[in-house]
Amino acid sequence: MNDKHTDPASALNATAKFVATPEGTALAYGSLVFMALLPIFFGALRSVTCSKSKNSSDMPETITGRDAARFPIIASCTLFGLYLFFKVFSQEYINLLLSVYFFGLGVLALSHTMSPLMSRIFPESFPNKQYQLLFTQGSGESKEEIVNYEFDTKNLVCLVISSVVGVWYLLKKHWIANNLFGLAFALNGVELLHLNNVSTGCILLGGLFVYDVFWVFGTNVMVTVAKSFEAPIKLVFPQDLLEKGLGASNFAMLGLGDIVIPGIFIALLLRFDVSLKKNSRTYFYSSFLAYIFGLGLTIFVMHTFKHAQPALLYLVPACVGFPVIVALIKGELTEMFRVKTCVVLLPLFLPLALFCLKLAETQRDRQNQAQCRRQGNLSA
């Protein structure tokens, strides 16, 4: 839900229409926490398989500390560019363009997410034919491959199902369709965006802190874009589900940035566990539990002080601090910071994708701020 109320009178009027019950609030936030854990857990497991893939189409690139340090600048340029677009052009047409863009990305992401599941569901007798999509440039010895994508009938079935969900989202903007796309984006992000080492992860997360402070608190750019931006870059769950069923319309939300950014770090630690060859997942489970603790602490503080909280303020120290303490106890700290893995980096879409994740977090914070303000006015 995009809250448009900015003055106390409007907030009080909104409160008169709806006040979340304790049961509805608990169900909404419990569901959001559960949905956030799914892409982190399964995305991390799939990232191990992805890192071992020998398919030429899955060959990764490496993101270095310099790339991570450069990201806040790239994201800032993307953010300011969108800000100028919303100022110059009609918001309706920009959001229409973004809807089509995320429709395409969402269909591909959901299809990729469903593919392993479909491979297990279909019987072995299913006529599964192989296809290849090949685009080349030039001819003879100078011929160069631009696109070489192999797929089968099962992948086509996944694509059809994903397209149906995409059309549903475009026409209805239903929260279930939004969540299906959001979960697919989050799982693919955790699976495919691999940090090459812990130091790079710390640089990236530290840069995002600076990015947040400047654009959210130093200017109105982030808030302006967040109020105008409509896309499935967040998970939502209705707080009035018990009263209105699937037609509920008052949502709690969690930005994908609060899932993917810690998730890619947790996935790195799982690959570190695998590299140790000790048949143990100590660092993965410690960081996974740290994420649950950090997210729970965010919700607790938000409702205690009736003020929106940036989730990364709690998630980053927890997800980094817990595994570091474990490494200190086990005497493996040096080895942890030395581990190297590959990263699948989508050079064209990474800045916009991670920017959208941070933007979703800002939207979440704005909504929670408005909700806490309405509850405060009601108590007064």
Question: Distance (Å, rounded) from C-alpha 106 to C-alpha 327?
Answer: 38
pLDDT of 317 reads: 87
pLDDT tens profile 196-213: 888 888 888 777 777 766
- The pair of three-digit structure tokens given for residue 355, joined into one six-digit string: 């920017």
For residue 342, what pLDDT band results from cuts at 50, 70 and 90?
very low
For 344, phi and psi rounded to 5 degrees?
-90, 110
Average pLDDT, the chain: 79
For 126, phi and psi rounded to 5 degrees?
-65, 130
Q: In 3D, which of 190, 181, 194, 187 has the Cα closest to residue 234?
A: 181
pLDDT of 17 reads: 54
For residue 82, what pLDDT band results from cuts at 50, 70 and 90?
confident
Task: Give me Rg for the CA atoms of the chain.
Answer: 22
| Percent of the chain clearing pLDDT 90 (strictly above) | 24
| Chain centroid offset of residue 7 CA | 31
pLDDT of 285 reads: 95
3-state DSSP assignment of residue 141: helix
Question: Look-up: residue for tokens 């001819």?
Answer: 139
Q: Which residues contact 336 (CB under 8 A, 6 or more apart)?
A: 198, 272, 283, 323, 324, 327
Whether 129 and 153 have beta carbons less than 8 Å apart is answered as: yes
pLDDT tens profile 357-376: 555 555 556 666 666 666 66
DSSP 8-state class, residue 231: S
Question: Distance (Å, rounded) from C-alpha 127 to C-alpha 205?
Answer: 46
For residue 177, what pLDDT band results from cuts at 50, 70 and 90?
very high
- Mean pLDDT to the nearest integer, 79-85: 86
pLDDT tens profile 203-250: 887 777 777 667 766 777 876 776 677 788 889 899 989 888 888 888
pLDDT of 371 reads: 65
3-state DSSP assignment of residue 313: helix
For residue 287, what pLDDT band results from cuts at 50, 70 and 90?
very high
* One-letter-per-residue 3-state SS of 169-216: HHHHCCHHHHHHHHHHHHHHHHHHCCCCCHHHHHHHHHHHHHHHHHHH
DSSP-assigned letters across all residues of 247-297: G---EEEEETHHHHHHHHHHHHHHHHHHHHTSS--HHHHHHHHHHHHHHHH
pLDDT of 340 reads: 59
Q: What residues are annotated to the active site?
A: 212, 258
3-state DSSP assignment of residue 5: coil
pTM of the predicted structure, to 2 decimals: 0.80
For residue 28, what pLDDT band results from cuts at 50, 70 and 90?
very high
